[in-house]
């Protein structure tokens, strides 16, 4: 059925003289692999969280997941939308410390397993050390934790609740260029290789064939799952793509904003 609709649409475009559009339909041109810009994302069906915030009003404390999963997002403390934003956006989410965060309840969508995935967002913060940005950690060890580390960024990832056996924060990446400047951050898996990037500059930070811990905790953005370790800064356009590695071992150009909702 889908194939017949595709052929019919192609015929209509050609008969109406829209040859250029027909060529786009045939080639898929205009659909970047990284899923940025005004065209639809070819991997949108694999997006399990899209906190785009591109249509949020200044000052709002209500945020929406624009993926098909439509997870409920809860704002706590003083987290709110403000006018500090990266190019292509009008607002971002400000987390001014003091136990402020955005959180979504536990879901199998946060259980990344042994497959590929991509976690990415834009961030603008001052120089900070050891303050949680994105994590499933309540205490001890859990599936995932990402945080700024002075002039770098670090990740932790585990297959168990005892040790950070996939990534333990020992391989920082990036530079102080992200401080007070909107910068794209990504953490992703390609087979057994784990990569991190800052502004499209890629670092291979780990190798593991293990299955990441199936967390039972919520996903927290801006705090240690509400445990009182909030950072102070802004983040925007947070996207989690499960089952797809949007980037590889080579440096890349981060996607343009806003991220597509289709």
Dihedral sign (CA 32, 36, 37, 40): positive
pLDDT at 47: 97
> For the chain, what is the radius of gyration of the CA atoms?
19
Alpha helices by DSSP H, listed for the chain, are 2-15, 19-27
Residues of the chain with pLDDT under 70: 1-38, 97-98, 127-133, 138-139, 150-151, 174-178, 224-230
Cα–Cα distance, 31 to 260 (Å, whole number): 10
Cα–Cα distance, 135 to 58 (Å, whole number): 26
Q: For residue 117, list its beta bridge partners.
A: 189, 242
| Architecture of domain 31-242 in this structure | Sandwich (2.60)
The one-character DSSP state at 13 is H
Name the nearest CA neighbour of 93 among 102, 35, 8, 67: 102
DSSP-based three-state secondary structure for 49: strand
Domain boundaries in the chain?
1-30, 31-242
pLDDT at 108: 93
pLDDT at 225: 58
pLDDT at 177: 61
DSSP-based three-state secondary structure for 140: coil
What number of helices (H) and strands (E) belong to the chain? 2, 16
Cα angle value 220/125/47 (rounded, 5°): 40
Report whether 92 contacts 81 (CB < 8 A): yes
pLDDT digit string, tens, across residues 81-137: 788 888 888 888 877 766 777 888 999 999 999 999 999 999 887 766 556 667 777
Report whether 101 contacts 230 (CB < 8 A): yes
pLDDT at 2: 36
Name the nearest CA neighbour of 189 among 136, 123, 143: 143
């Amino acid at each position: 059925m889908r194939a017949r609709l595709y052929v019919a649409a192609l015929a209509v475009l050609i008969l109406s003289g829209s040859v250029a559009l027909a060529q786009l339909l045939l080639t898929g041109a205009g659909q970047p692999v990284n899923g940025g810009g005004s065209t639809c994302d070819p991997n949108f069906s694999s997006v399990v969280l899209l906190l785009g915030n591109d249509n949020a009003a200044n000052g709002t404390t209500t945020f929406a997941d624009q993926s098909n999963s439509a997870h409920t997002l809860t704002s706590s403390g003083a987290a709110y939308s403000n006018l500090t934003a990266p190019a292509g956006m009008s607002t971002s989410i400000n987390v001014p410390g003091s136990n402020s965060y955005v959180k979504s309840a536990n879901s199998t969508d946060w259980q990344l397993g042994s497959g590929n995935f991509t976690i990415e967002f834009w961030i603008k913060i001052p120089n900070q050390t050891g303050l949680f940005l994105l994590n499933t950690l309540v205490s001890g060890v859990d599936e995932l934790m990402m945080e700024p580390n002075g002039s770098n960024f670090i990740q932790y990832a585990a297959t168990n609740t005892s040790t950070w056996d996939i990534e333990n924060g020992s391989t920082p990446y990036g530079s102080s260029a992200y401080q007070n400047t909107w910068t794209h951050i990504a953490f992703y898996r390609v087979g057994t290789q784990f990569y991190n990037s800052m502004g499209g500059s890629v670092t291979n930070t780990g190798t593991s064939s293990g299955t990441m811990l199936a967390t039972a905790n919520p996903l927290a953005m801006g705090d240690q799952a509400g445990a009182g370790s909030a950072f102070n800064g802004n983040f925007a356009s947070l996207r989690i793509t499960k089952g797809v590695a949007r980037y590889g071992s080579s440096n890349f150009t981060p996607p343009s904003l806003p991220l597509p909702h289709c």
